Homo-oligomer: A and B are copies of this chain.
Amino acid sequence: MSNNPEKKEFTPIPLDLKKPVPSDIDIAQASRLKPITQITEELGLLPEEVELYGPYKAKIKLEVLERLKNRPNGKYVDVTAITPTPLGEGKTTTTVGLSQALGAHLGKSVMTCIRQPSQGPTFGIKGGAAGGGYSQVIPMEDLNLHLTGDIHAITAANNLMAAAIDIRMFHEASQSDEALFKRLFPEDKHGKRSFGRAMLNRLMKLGIDKTDPDELTEEERSRFVRLDIDPDTITWMRGLDTNDRYLREITVGESPSEKGMSRKTGFYITVASEIMAVLALTTDLQDMRRRLGNMVVALDKKGDAVTADDLGVAGALTVLMKDAIKPTLMQTLEGTPVFVHAGPFANIAHGNSSILADKIGLKLADYVVTESGFGADMGMEKFFDIKCRYSDLVPSVVVLVATVRALKMHGGGPTVTAGTPLDPVYSEENLELLREGTKNMLHHIAIAKKYGVPVVVAVNRFFTDTDAELELVRKIAIEEGGAYDAVVSNHWEEGGAGALDLAKAVVKAAEQPAKFDFLYPLDWSIKKKIETIAVEIYGADGVDYSPDAEKNIEKYTRLGLDNLPICMAKTHLSLSHDPNLKGVPKGFRIPIRDVRASAGAGFLYPLLGTISTMPGLPTRPAFMDIDIDPVTGQILGLS
């Protein structure tokens, strides 16, 4: 079979634009869909590289990377934003609209890479994350619900690990070394003991070169069977993909059957699990097995790291993740291809789509449009300093999404809250507020330029924006910010046709030579790296560390984890750690409450201020509007 089979010609889906623009779900459900097999043929994928999940979704096997390894990469476009309001500024919508313009209007081959929405926000306050208006990924119901099960696989793997930790402590507490040995290596019917496959890495780590448990010396037995976990050092928590704030802090093990071995712990939302970060940052199955095995869950009583491989559970975790490692292919409203992979939440996670989706996309298409979560201080910084570092990929262009609404808020406009009507200032022309607010945009442009990548500002047009307002933003971005270009985009109302100018600007910017570089080298100390991000990206005066943070920085330095990149857990609603500080805050110091390690995924994550890793639900959660037509099966009210 040919290594480069003939691609089927791309056929766009024409949009049937209506005004006023109907609801997202009405547009999505009225849309024509191509069979996903047509999309795979248009991409030149071989049938054996495709696993169908119903007619409109498919997982793409990693083997395609091997087949196309000699093909040059396409252009690599990252979409980021200014500091958003709690309502979001349409970053996914812009990502999709730009892609529709490139693919369905400019005749470029394009792959969009977005992250799988979490069910927490979908049923909570924000709704789904398929884009909006005439720039959406479809079927939006599939995207916003279970998709192909990746997040569920992470929940399962995360919680198998948690169960493995507690049960190991339970069994070690009640058994002698000899009893543990006998139970860890029960005799088979021929009286033979054997190592489980997933135990072998621990054996290697201990430097024991034996294949028969009965040959272990007494000292080796004791070292092998007893992990001696210090319960106060356990950093691994349980996870659910639900906004359930009552699980933030809990006590487990309170049944009499657990014999008083209760302890305090908690749940995070699944997308904040280290396993999600492993999925996003891994480069192949072997690498994923290694990263999962290296995840540090606690220290033993001597202060040494206890890993998933020590627990003998990393093989099972990899098996649970074997399908999740493959990106899911979907489509936009105009029929261009979309990879959905890894998870959101660039505040409490790194919140970028996966390296693997981007890499496959760059082989299949001339342009990859990938989205990094929240503002340039959040997802984009992590995209550059963590993701690009592990992928060796070089970004060509940054698209910075700005809205008049958010800029007015940064200029001093009243608070913007979900579920509350907007103040009229946001629907009437107000150039003063807007001009003041553009300082936030200028700061974000400057962040992106620090990395040597050209910036195109996309002003995401809302129907209340005036021409004078839009023009002011554009002008300031270019003249004061030094953006390569700045373009008003109307993709929400018009789909790809509304983003044509943006697409043309991106194509031109991508021809610029890139002089990409990281913000910091890995061999700097943990504190120097943290402080560099705080000062150079957030504009802080400095950093203050809590005693816990100091202790953990010392600990991770001692364990040799100080050469990892930094993944800040910070509010996305301000350049600072305080969500109330809008615009470009000055004269603040960043409080580091704690520092934790994702040793397998490959980063340290400081917790800034009061950031929580488990969101809650409002009085009227989105789920109250969601139902199903029991006769037709049509989903109602999902947004």
Q: List, in ascending order, chain B residues with CB within 8 A of A628's CB.
A: 285, 289, 315, 318-319, 322
Is A621 in contact with B246, judged by CB distance below 8 angstroms? no
Question: What B residues does A55 contact at CB under 8 A?
Answer: 51-52
User: Which residues from chain B contact A419 at a C-beta distance below 8 Å?
Assistant: 183, 186
* Residue numbers in B under 8 Å from A163 (CB-CB): 242-246, 617
The residue on B at minimum CB distance from A264 is: B254
Least CB separation from A614: chain B residue? B255
| Residues A623 and B246 in contact in the complex (CB < 8 Å), given A152-B152, A240-B159 | no
Give residues 597-639 of A contacting B (CB, 8 Å). Answer: 612, 616-621, 623-628, 630-631, 633, 635-638
Task: Note all chain B residues with C-beta closer than 8 A to A285.
Answer: 628, 630-631, 633
Known A146-B323, A244-B162, A246-B253; judge A167-B627 contact (CB<8 A): no
Given the known inter-chain contacts A156-B152, A198-B625, please indicate yes or no for A164 contacting B617, CB distance below 8 A: yes
Contact present for A191 and B616 (CB under 8 Å): no
Which of B188, B250, B420, B621 meets A252, CB within 8 Å? B250
The answer for the CA separation of A323 and B316 in the assembled complex, in Å, is: 26
Residues of B within 8 A of A160 (CB): 119, 123, 242, 623
> Any chain B CB within 8 A of the CB of A187?
yes
Residue of B145, B170, B289, B618 touching A320 (CB-CB under 8 A): B145
Indicate whether A535 reaches chain B with its CB closer than 8 angstroms: no
Question: Does the CB pair B318–A166 fall under 8 Å?
Answer: no
A625 — nearest CB in chain B belongs to which residue?
B196
Judge if A301 is at the interface, Cβ distance under 8 Å: no
CB contacts (< 8 Å) of A87 on chain B: these are none
Expressed in whole angstroms, the Cα–Cα distance for A213 and B626 within the complex equals 18
Residues of B within 8 A of A119 (CB): 156, 160, 320
> How far apart are the CA atoms of A628 and B159 in the complex, in Å?
19
Chain B residues within an 8 Å CB radius of A462: none
**Cα–Cα distance between A141 and B322 once the two chains are bound (Å):** 11
Bound complex: CA of A149 vs CA of B142, how far in Å? 13
Evaluate contact between B619 and A171: CB separation under 8 angstroms.
Answer: yes
Is B315 a contact partner of A156 (Cβ separation < 8 A)? no
Contact of A189 among B422, B617, B638 (CB under 8 A): B422
15 pairs, A vs B, C-beta closer than 8 Å: A52-B52, A119-B156, A146-B149, A146-B153, A166-B245, A171-B619, A191-B421, A196-B620, A198-B623, A238-B247, A248-B258, A251-B254, A255-B266, A316-B627, A319-B628
